Amino acid sequence: SRNVYHKAPFGAVKSESVIHFCIEAEDGVFIHDIFLCVFKDGESVKNYPMHYVGKRENYSIFSVDIELKSVGLYWYYFSVNSEKGNFNLYKGQNADISYEGALYQITVYDKEFSTPQKMKGGVIYHIFVDRFYRSNDSEAVFAKSGVLKEWNEPVTIVDSDGVFRANDFYGGNLRGIIEKLDYLK
């Protein structure tokens, strides 16, 4: 999804714009059908048949163009019907495609949206509360699950068992931001 050869345009898309998808199947297995399976949060899956468009090296190329009309968060995966059986393909680790994994995501925003003129060329600060500053306020609330780390410990991307959990936190809080308002100003 991060390579415009496989999905274009890159990133979020305007409503009613055409999105191009391309997937390659290694030679040696006969593919009956490949479908791009797309659904919006709370709605049913729509299957778009992908069409054979040619070859590249030892791969058969299948593609489809779709148009998502309404604003929202969409999810997708691929469904393959081959001589070796039927299976789905998902987003694997390290941008690989996998038989198991997460769904790919498409964010569709209103085609009429434009950045306000006063924001163009401006600077926006995003404060990640948990990592910004920890107040010593005894009333501060900390998460009840996960791993509370010391302030200077590195962020853990993958736990020691090789699994991505994103369950570490550092205890930064809103009171910490309030205490640093003069610095932010």
107, 12 contact by CB (below 8 A):
yes
State the DSSP code for 19: E
- Residue bearing tokens 């404060």: 127
Of residues 25 and 156, more confidence is placed in: 25
- What value does the mean pLDDT take over residues 161-183? 84
What does each C-alpha distance from 24 to 2, 115, 149 come to in angstroms? 15, 36, 43
Q: How many CA atoms lie within 13 A of 155 on its CB side?
A: 7
Is the torsion defined by CA of 99, 27, 34, 85 positive or negative?
negative
Higher-pLDDT residue of 87, 151: 87
- Residues 4-28 have a mean pLDDT of 93
The per-residue pLDDT for 139 is 63
On the question of a cis peptide bond just before residue 49, with omega within 30 degrees of 0, the verdict is no
